[in-house]
C-alpha cells in the first residue's frame, strides 16, 4: 500500500509545544492531514511514555494504534471522508551537545524502536547519562556516535535518523556546530545511518547536490510542535504497514518501497537564506559572499542559512538530479493557501472555517493538495482555492525566503491576479508572466561601507614575543625568567600569566641549552596532580619520555630521601588507620579526634616535638591535653610501624640536620630546585627547602601570594614575601601579562585584592586578550532563584546566541562565541551551596558534575565520563572533558580556568565566610579566595548573591559581599533576576528552533 508517514513529532512534554499535543490529538490531526503512520514523539519522557503504554496497543508488528475505545470516541469528531487508520511508530528526538575533535557539536537525532521493551531499556540507559525527565526532547552531553551505539545495542532493529540535518544550530551538517561529512559524526557506525531528515529549510533537490548523501534515503517530517502543523512535510511509502517494512524501505531506498517525500518549499523555512532578523537583512548566499559574511547593517557575522551551507558542502551544481532519485512533491500547507486567499492569518477563524469545509467535502489535506482532481476541488466552493492548488502543484508560487529564524512568506496571487479572479476572468491560467520566481530578499538593504567591516579589534598591546613556534613563544619577562642564572630566583606569577609554561620552559632550557642533566633537577609541588602535570609538560616540551626530572610532591620527595639516604622505608598509614589511632588516642579526652588531628599536624608542621613546650601553639589550657593525645597517637603509630604524612617531612629535616654528609650528598645531586606554588609552603617545608638550597644559586620558586588560600592547613604566605630576606641577592621577576582573562576582570580583581592592606603603587596585570567583558552582578531573591538564574543564563549561552549581546548594556565585547556545558563553572564557598543548584539543574536537564564531593550520595546523579559512559560510584571524580557544567568550591577551582565563571553566594557570611555569626576568621584569606574565584574566568564572570538565605534553619536577610564595594562601578553591570527573565523571553529561537 501507499501511505504518508510523519516520523518526527513532539508531545506536550517538549519545550514550546502546544498543551493539547497528546496522543488523541495526534491521532485526530493525522486523520485530518491524511497521515497513516505518525511518530509518537518524545518516548524518552517518563510521563509521556506512561501515556503511550496506557493508550496504545500493537496493531501491526512494530506499529501501534490507539485503543479501540479511545478511537471510537474520537471518530465522532472527524469528518467522514477522513476516517482512515492511523498507526503510531515509537519515536523520540535526542539533543546532543558535546565536544568532538575539540569543537562543540550540537545535533538532534531521531530514534525509533519497534517495541515498548526496547524503549524502556533505552530510556533506562539515557536516564543514567542525563536528565530525561525535564523535557520531551532531552538534552544530553552524549556523542551522537555513542547515541547510535546505544540505540543499536538496545535493539539492532532500532533506527537512528539524523534530524533536520541542515539547520545551523543543531544538526549533523549545521554551519554552527555540525560536521562536513556523515562519517565525521558517526565514525565506524556510519553504515547504520541510512536515512536523514531534510528539515523544513531544505528539500531533496538541495540534498541531491551533496555526494555524501547519495546512499541515504531522505525523509521529510513536520517536527510538529502543535497538532495543526502535523504532516506539513511527510514521507511516502509503498510498503506494508510494519516497522520492519518501513525500516527496509528506508534502508534499501528501493523505489518500489520508499516513495520519496512531500516537502514545503524550503524557502518557507526559517533558515533558508542568510541574514540578520534584527537588522532586517536577508541575503542569498552569493550576496553574503560579496559582503564577506558580515552584516551590512550591524557589522557582525551574518547568520548563515541552509542554502549557504548546502552550497559549501555541495559537489554538484544547482539543479543536479541524480539517477534513480526518489520522487518528491512541493506543497504549501492548506492553511497557508487559505490565508493567502483571504488575506488573513493562517490561524484565524475564517481560514479554519474553510479548512473544515474542504475536509468535509473532499477528504484529508494531503489528498486535497496532491491528488484530488481540480474539478472536485472547485465543487467545494471555496473561492480561488482550486486555482491556488493548481498553481501550487505547478510550482507557480512566489516566496520571500526565510532567514535567521524568520519564516518565509508565500505569495500565490498578485494584486492584479486577485482583481482578475474576482472579476471572473479566466485568462490568468495561461498568463506566462506569472512564473515561479524567487525573490532575492524582500528587505535587502544597501550596505553601509563603514559599518560593513568591523573586524576584531587590535590587541590592546603589541606582544613582544621571541621567535619560534607559537607554543614556545615567551614574553620578555617570561624569557628573562627562563634565561636568568646566577642567584636564587623568585617568579611572582599572577593568575593566567603563564606560570607553568615559564617553569617548564626554564627546565627545558636548562636541559637543552645548559647541559643540565634532567635527573639533577628537582621540582617540588603540593599535589600529585601538579607533579604529574609538570612531568608531562616537560616531556612534551623536551620530547623525551619518560623524563628524568624529579617532579614530586614534598611528601613523595621526602619518602624518596628517607629510602635512598636514610636507609629506612616508612609506611604511611592510610586515612582509615590514622582515624582509628586518633580515636583511640582521644578516648576520655576533651579534644575530639579531628580537632586533635589538626593540632598534631600543626605542631609537626612547625617542627615541634612532643616533648617541646606546646603552650605557644595551643595555649596553657590545651597544651598538656594535646601532649597526652599526641604521645598516645605516636605510640599507636610506632606499634604498627606506621608514620603519618607530616612525619615524612619532619624526619627528612631531622635526617639532614643530623647527618651533614647526607645533606651534602643530596645538595650535590640536585643542582636545581624548583618549588611550585611557593605561597602555599608551610614551616617544615620551608625549612627543608632552605636546608637543601642554602648557599647556592640553584633555587627557583614560583607562585602568587594573592592566591594563598590554604592558611587553615598550615600554608604561610609570609615565606613568599620573605624570600628576598631569606636569600639575599636573589632575583625577583614579576609576570604581568595575563593570557587568560579580559582586562576588566583583571582590574576588578586587582582593585579588590589590593584593598587587603590598602596597598598602593602596585602594578596591575595587563590582559593580552583582544576583547573585554564587564562583570555581571546578579541579585536574586533566594538560593533557588540564584540557581535558576544561573541555569537560565547557561541555557541561553549554550543555545547559540549569547544572551550577552541581547542586553543593550552589553556585557561581553567579544566576537560571538559558542559555549558548551563544559565551558561553565559555578564556584561556591561551601559545598552546602551545591544542593540548590543540583536540584534546579537536574530539573532543568542541564548536565553538571561536582568536584570533590565526598560523603554525599546522589544515586540519581550519574557520574559520567567524556564518552558518556558510567567510568564508577565509589569515587567521586570530576572529569574536565565531560560535557557538563562544573560545580566546585573555590579551593578546588584553584589552578583551573573556565570560559564562563559564576561565583555563587557573593554575600556577607559566605564570601567572606563567617564561621560564627558576625565576623570572618581571616578576612584577608577570604579576600584571596575571592580573588582566586574571580580570576578563573576567561570570557565572562558573573557574581551572584541572594537577598535572603536560610542560615541554620532561619531565613536571613543578606547583604552583598563587601568585596564588591572595592570594585569600581564602571566595571560592573548590576542586574536582578528580572534581567534573566527578559533575556530569556527575547531569545526563544535557539533552544527551540521550530
Interface with DNA (CB under 7 A): 526-529, 553, 555-556, 575, 645-646, 709-710, 712-713, 829-832, 852, 889, 891-892, 913, 915, 921, 950, 952-953
Contact 268, 408 (CB under 8 A): yes
Which residue, 222 or 553, is less far from DNA as judged by CB? 553
Least spacing, CB of residue 882 vs DNA, in Å? 18
Check residue 52 and report its DSSP letter: H
Q: Which is nearer to DNA, 59 or 923 (CB)?
A: 923
For residues 235 and 228, what is the distance between their CA atoms, to the nearest angstrom?
17
Q: Whole-number minimum distance, CB 553 to DNA, in Å?
A: 4
Min dist CB 564 to DNA, Å, is 17
Instruction: State in angstroms the smallest separation of the CB of 595 from DNA.
Output: 10
Contact in structure between 282 and 273 (CB atoms under 8 Å): yes
Nearer to DNA by Cβ, of 413 and 526: the residue is 526
**Cβ distance to DNA smaller for residue 685 or 744:** 685
Distances (CA, A) of 595 to 602, 622, 626, 629, 724: 11, 12, 10, 11, 35
Q: How far is the CB of 441 from DNA (least distance, A)?
A: 55
Cα separation values, 167 from 230, 337, 403, 919, 968, Å: 19, 25, 11, 55, 43
Cβ proximity to DNA: between 766 and 879 the closer is: 879
SS3 track for 564-612: HCCCCCCEECCHHHHHHHHHHHHCCCCCCHHHHHHHHHHHHHCCCCCCC
CB nearer to DNA: give 298 or 579. Answer: 579
Give whichever of 332 and 892 is closer to DNA, judged by the CB atom.
892
> Which three three-digit cell numbers place residue 498?
603563564
Give me the phi and psi of 384, to 5 degrees please: 65, -5
Choice between 81 and 572, CB closer to DNA: 572
For residues 383 and 852, which CB has a smaller minimum distance to DNA in the complex? Answer: 852
Q: How far is the CB of 717 from DNA (least distance, A)?
A: 14
In the complex, minimum distance from the CB of residue 750 to DNA, in angstroms, rounded to a whole number: 23
Supply the minimum distance, in Å, between the C-beta of residue 43 and DNA: 35
- To DNA, the closest distance from the beta carbon of 852 in angstroms equals 5
Query: Which lies closer to DNA via its Cβ, residue 23 or residue 653?
Result: 653
**Nearest-angstrom CA–CA distance, 785 and 837:** 10
CA distances from 708 to 140, 680, 780, 903 (A): 37, 6, 30, 18
DSSP 249-295: HHHH--TTTEEEEEEE-GGGSTTSBEEETTTTEEE-HHHHHHTTTB-
Which residue, among 534, 561, 558, 530, has the nearest Cα to 547 in the 3D structure?
Answer: 534
CB of 854 to DNA, least distance (A): 8
Q: Which residue's CB is nearer to DNA, number 210 or number 650?
A: 650
Minimum gap (Å) between residue 712 Cβ and DNA: 4
Cβ–Cβ < 8 Å for 351, 339: yes
Kindly state the smallest distance separating residue 618's Cβ from DNA, in Å.
16
Report the half-sphere exposure of 290 (CA within 13 A, side-chain side). Answer: 7
C-alpha cell at 871: 567510568
Place of cell 542586574: 975
Mapping DSSP to helix (H, G, I), strand (E, B) and coil, where does residue 93 land?
strand
Cell of 554: 614534598
> Residue 839 CB: number of other CB atoms within 10 A?
13
Nearer to DNA, 553 or 977 (CB): 553
Distance CA 507, CA 518 (A): 8
* Calpha distance 217→196 (Å, rounded): 6
Amino acid at each position: 500500500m501507499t501511505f504518508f508517514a510523519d516520523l518526527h513529532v513532539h508531545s506536550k512534554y517538549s519545550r514550546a509545544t502546544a498543551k493539547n499535543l497528546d496522543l488523541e490529538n495526534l491521532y485526530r490531526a493525522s486523520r485530518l492531514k491524511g497521515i497513516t503512520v505518525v511518530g509518537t514523539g518524545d518516548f524518552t519522557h517518563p510521563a509521556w511514555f506512561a501515556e503511550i503504554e496506557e493508550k496504545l496497543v500493537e496493531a501491526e508488528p512494530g506499529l501501534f494504534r490507539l485503543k479501540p475505545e479511545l478511537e471510537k470516541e474520537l471518530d465522532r469528531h472527524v469528518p467522514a471522508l477522513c476516517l482512515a487508520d492511523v498507526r503510531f511508530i515509537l519515536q523520540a528526538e535526542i539533543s546532543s551537545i558535546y565536544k568532538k575533535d575539540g569543537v562543540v557539536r550540537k545535533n538532534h537525532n531521531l530514534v525509533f524502536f519497534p517495541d515498548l521493551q526496547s524503549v524502556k531499556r533505552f530510556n533506562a540507559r539515557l536516564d543514567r547519562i542525563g536528565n530525561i525527565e525535564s523535557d520531551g526532547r532531552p538534552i544530553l552531553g552524549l556523542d551522537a556516535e555513542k547515541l547510535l551505539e546505544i540505540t543499536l545495542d538496545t535493539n539492532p532493529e532500532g533506527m537512528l535518523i539524523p534530524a533536520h540535518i541542515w539547520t545551523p544550530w543543531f544538526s549533523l551538517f549545521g554551519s554552527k556546530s555540525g560536521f562536513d561529512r556523515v562519517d565525521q559524526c558517526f565514525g565506524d557506525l556510519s553504515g547504520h545511518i541510512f536515512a536523514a531528515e531534510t528539515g523544513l529549510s531544505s528539500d531533496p533537490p538541495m540534498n541531491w547536490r551533496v555526494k555524501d548523501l547519495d546512499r541515504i534515503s531522505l525523509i521529510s517530517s513536520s517536527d510538529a510542535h502543535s497538532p495543526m502543523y502535523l504532516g506539513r512535510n511527510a514521507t511516502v511509502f509503498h510498503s506494508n504497514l510494519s516497522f520492519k517494512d518501513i525500516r527496509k524501505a528506508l534502508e534499501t531506498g528501493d523505489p518500489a518501497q520508499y516513495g520519496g517525500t512531500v516537502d514545503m518549499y524550503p524557502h518557507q523555512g526559517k533558515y533558508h537564506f542568510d541574514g540578520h532578523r534584527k537588522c532586517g537583512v536577508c541575503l542569498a548566499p552569493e550576496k553574503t559572499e560579496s559582503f564577506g559574511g558580515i552584516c551590512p547593517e550591524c557589522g557582525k557575522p551574518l547568520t548563515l542559512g541552509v542554502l549557504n551551507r548546502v552550497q559549501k558542502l555541495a559537489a554538484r551544481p544547482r539543479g543536479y538530479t541524480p539517477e534513480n532519485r526518489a520522487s518528491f512533491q512541493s506543497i504549501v500547507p492548506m492553511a497557508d493557501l487559505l490565508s493567502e486567499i483571504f488575506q488573513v492569518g493562517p490561524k484565524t477563524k475564517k481560514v479554519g472555517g474553510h479548512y473544515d469545509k474542504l475536509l468535509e467535502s473532499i477528504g484529508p489535506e494531503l489528498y486535497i493538495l496532491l491528488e484530488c482532481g481540480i474539478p472536485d476541488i472547485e465543487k467545494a466552493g471555496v473561492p480561488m482555492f482550486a486555482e491556488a492548488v493548481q498553481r501550487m502543484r505547478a510550482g507557480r508560487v512566489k516566496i520571500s525566503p526565510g532567514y535567521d529564524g524568520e519564516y518565509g512568506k508565500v505569495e500565490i496571487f498578485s494584486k492584479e491576479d486577485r482583481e482578475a479572479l474576482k472579476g471572473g476572468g479566466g485568462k490568468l491560467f495561461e498568463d506566462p508572466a506569472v512564473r515561479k520566481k524567487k525573490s532575492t530578499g524582500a528587505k535587502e538593504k544597501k550596505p553601509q561601507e563603514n559599518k560593513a567591516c568591523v573586524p576584531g579589534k587590535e590587541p590592546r598591546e603589541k606582544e613582544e614575543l621571541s621567535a619560534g613556534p607559537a607554543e614556545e613563544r615567551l614574553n620578555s619577562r617570561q624569557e628573562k625568567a627562563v634565561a636568568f642564572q646566577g642567584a636564587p630566583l623568585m617568579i611572582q606569577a599572577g593568575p593566567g600569566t603563564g606560570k607553568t609554561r615559564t617553569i617548564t620552559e626554564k627546565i627545558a632550557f636548562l636541559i637543552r641549552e645548559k647541559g643540565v642533566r634532567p635527573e639533577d633537577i628537582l621540582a617540588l609541588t603540593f599535589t600529585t596532580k601538579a607533579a604529574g602535570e609538570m612531568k608531562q609538560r616537560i616531556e612534551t616540551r623536551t620530547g623525551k619520555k619518560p623524563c628524568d626530572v624529579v617532579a614530586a610532591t614534598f611528601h613523595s620527595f621526602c619518602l624518596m630521601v628517607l629510602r635512598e639516604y636514610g636507609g629506612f622505608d616508612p609506611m604511611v598509614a592510610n586515612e582509615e588507620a590514622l582515624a582509628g589511632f586518633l580515636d583511640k588516642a582521644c578516648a576520655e579526652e576533651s579534644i575530639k579526634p579531628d580537632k586533635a588531628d589538626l593540632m598534631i599536624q600543626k605542631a609537626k608542621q612547625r617542627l615541634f616535638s612532643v616533648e617541646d613546650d606546646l603552650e605557644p601553639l595551643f595555649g596553657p589550657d590545651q597544651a598538656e591535653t594535646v601532649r597526652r593525645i599526641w604521645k598516645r597517637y605516636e605510640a599507636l603509630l610506632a606499634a604498627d610501624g606506621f608514620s603519618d604524612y607530616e612525619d615524612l617531612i619532619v624526619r627528612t629535616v631531622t635526617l639532614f640536620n643530623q647527618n651533614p654528609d647526607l645533606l651534602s650528598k643530596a645538595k650535590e645531586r640536585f643542582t636545581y630546585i624548583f618549588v611550585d606554588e611557593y605561597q602555599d609552603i608551610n614551616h617544615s617545608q620551608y625549612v627543608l627547602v632552605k636546608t637543601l638550597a642554602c648557599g647556592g644559586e640553584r633555587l627557583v620558586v614560583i607562585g602568587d601570594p594573592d592566591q594563598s588560600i590554604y592558611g587553615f592547613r598550615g600554608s604561610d604566605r609570609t615565606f613568599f614575601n620573605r624570600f628576598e630576606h631569606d636569600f639575599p641577592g636573589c632575583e625577583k621577576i614579576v609576570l604581568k601579562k595575563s593570557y587568560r582573562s579580559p582586562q576588566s576582570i583583571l582590574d576588578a580583581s586587582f582593585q579588590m585584592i589590593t584593598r587587603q592592606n590598602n596597598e598602593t603603587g602596585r602594578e596591575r596585570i595587563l590582559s593580552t586578550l583582544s576583547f573585554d567583558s564587564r562583570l555581571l552582578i546578579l541579585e536574586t531573591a533566594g538560593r533557588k532563584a540564584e540557581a535558576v538564574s544561573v541555569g537560565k543564563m547557561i541555557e541561553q549561552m549554550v543555545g547559540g546566541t549569547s544572551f550577552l549581546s541581547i542586553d543593550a548594556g552589553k556585557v561581553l565585547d567579544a566576537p560571538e562565541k559558542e559555549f558548551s556545558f563544559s565551558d561553565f563553572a559555578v564556584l561556591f564557598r561551601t559545598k552546602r551551596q551545591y544542593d540548590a543548584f543540583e536540584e534546579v539543574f537536574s530539573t532543568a536537564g542541564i548536565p553538571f558534575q561536582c568536584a570533590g564531593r565526598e560523603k554525599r550520595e546522589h544515586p540519581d546523579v550519574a557520574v559520567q565520563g567524556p564518552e558518556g559512559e558510567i567510568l564508577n560510584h565509589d569515587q567521586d571524580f570530576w572529569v574536565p572533558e565531560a560535557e557538563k557544567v562544573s560545580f566546585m568550591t573555590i579551593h578546588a577551582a584553584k589552578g583551573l580556568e573556565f570560559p564562563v565563571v559564576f561565583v555563587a553566594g557573593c554575600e556577607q557570611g559566605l564570601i567572606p565566610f563567617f564561621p560564627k555569626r558576625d565576623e570572618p576568621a581571616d578576612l584577608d584569606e577570604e579576600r584571596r579566595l575571592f580573588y582566586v574565584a574571580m580570576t578563573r574566568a576567561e570570557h565572562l564572570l558573573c557574581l551572584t548573591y541572594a537577598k535572603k538565605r536560610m542560615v541554620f534553619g532561619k531565613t536571613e536577610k543578606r547583604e552583598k559581599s563587601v568585596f564588591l564595594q572595592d570594585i569600581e562601578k564602571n566595571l560592573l553591570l548590576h542586574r536582578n533576576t528580572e534581567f534573566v527573565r527578559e533575556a530569556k523571553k527575547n531569545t526563544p529561537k535557539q533552544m527551540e528552533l521550530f
